[in-house]
Structure 1
Amino acid sequence: MEDSTPLVTFYDIAFGPPMAETTCAPNPWKARYALNAKAVPYKTTWVPMLDISKVRLAMGVPAARKFADGSDYHTLPMITDSSTDSIVGDSFDIAIHMQTHYADSGVKDLFPPQKLDYVFEHDLAIFAPLSGRDEGVCGDYVRFNHNVDAAFSAHVMLMAHGLPFDSVSGDDVRAEFARRAGVPTWDDLAVRGEKRGVLWGEFRETLAGLARLFMRDCRGPFLLGEEVNFGDFIVGGWLKFMKGTLTSDEWEEARTWHDGVFGRLFDALEKYAEVH
Structure 2
Amino acid sequence: MSRHTSSRSCPPMIMLYDVPGRDVQPWVPNVWRIRFILNYKRLPYRTVWIEFPDVERELMRIGAPPSATRSDGRPVYTLPVIVDQTRNPHRPTILSNTNNIAEYLEQTYPARQVFPDGSRAMQSLFVHYIQEVFSQPLLPILVPLSHHALPERTQAHFRAGQVPATVLVGQQRELAWQAAKEQFDFLAMILDKNNGDGDGIVAMGEHLTYADFALCAVLIWIERMSAHDGWARVRTWNGGRWSRLWDRCRPYMEEL
TM (normalized to structure 1)?
0.78
Structure 1 stretches of 4+ moved >6 Å:
2-5
One-letter amino acid matched to 1:91: T
1:90-130 Cα offsets, whole Å, 9 max, x none, are 222222112111112xx2x2112577xxxxxxxxxxxxxxx
Q: In the alignment, is residue 10 of structure 1 matched against residue 13 of structure 2?
A: no
Does the CA contact (< 8 Å) of 2:137 and 2:179 recur in 1?
no
> 82-91 vs 39-48, which deviates more?
82-91
| Distance in 1 between residues matched to 2:184 and 2:73, nearest whole Å | 30
Aligned-pair distance for 1:141? 2.4
How many residue pairs are counted as aligned between the two chains? Answer: 239
Q: In the TM superposition, what whole-angstrom CA distance separates every residue of 1:215-245 from its partner, at most 9, and x where no partner exists?
A: 3334143223341110101101111111111
The CA deviation at 1:165 is 1.0
State the one-letter code of the partner of 2:150.
Answer: F
- Structure 1 or 2: more helix by fraction: 2
Aligned pair in 2 of structure 1 residues 256, 68: CA closer, same or farther (>3 Å)? farther
Of the candidates 64, 74, 77, which is equivalent to residue 80 of structure 2? 77
Give the drift of 1:213: 3.8
What SS is found at the alignment partner of 1:80? strand
| 1:209 aligns with one of 161, 180, 186 | 186
Question: In structure 1, what residue type is equivalent to 2:225?
Answer: T
1:166 corresponds to = 151
User: How far has the Cα of 1:70 moved from its partner?
Assistant: 6.1
Runs (5+) with no aligned partner, structure 2: 4-10
Structure 2 CA distance for aligned equivalents of residues 56 and 71 of structure 1? 15
After superposition, the Cα gap between the structure-2 partners of 1:23 and 1:67, relative to the gap in structure 1 and judged at 3 Å, is farther
SS of residue in 2 equivalent to 1:10: strand
Cα deviation 1:145-189 (Å, max 9, x = unaligned): 22111221343111112222124x14314415x62xxxxx22x43
Out of 244, 250, 253, the residue aligned to residue 230 of structure 2 is 250
SS at match of 1:162: helix
Q: CA deviation at 1:41?
A: 0.7
Is 2:64 aligned against 1:64? no
Within-5 A mapping of 1:79-158 = 79-84=82-87, 85-104=92-111, 107=112, 109-112=113-116, 138-150=120-132, 151-158=134-141
Question: What is the alpha-carbon distance in structure 1 between the residues aligned to residue 201 and residue 93 of structure 2?
Answer: 34
1:158 is matched by which residue type in structure 2?
I
| 2:53 and 2:154 in contact (8 A); partners too | no
Give the C-alpha shift of residue 253 in structure 1. 0.9
Worse-superposed segment, 26-35 or 222-231: 222-231
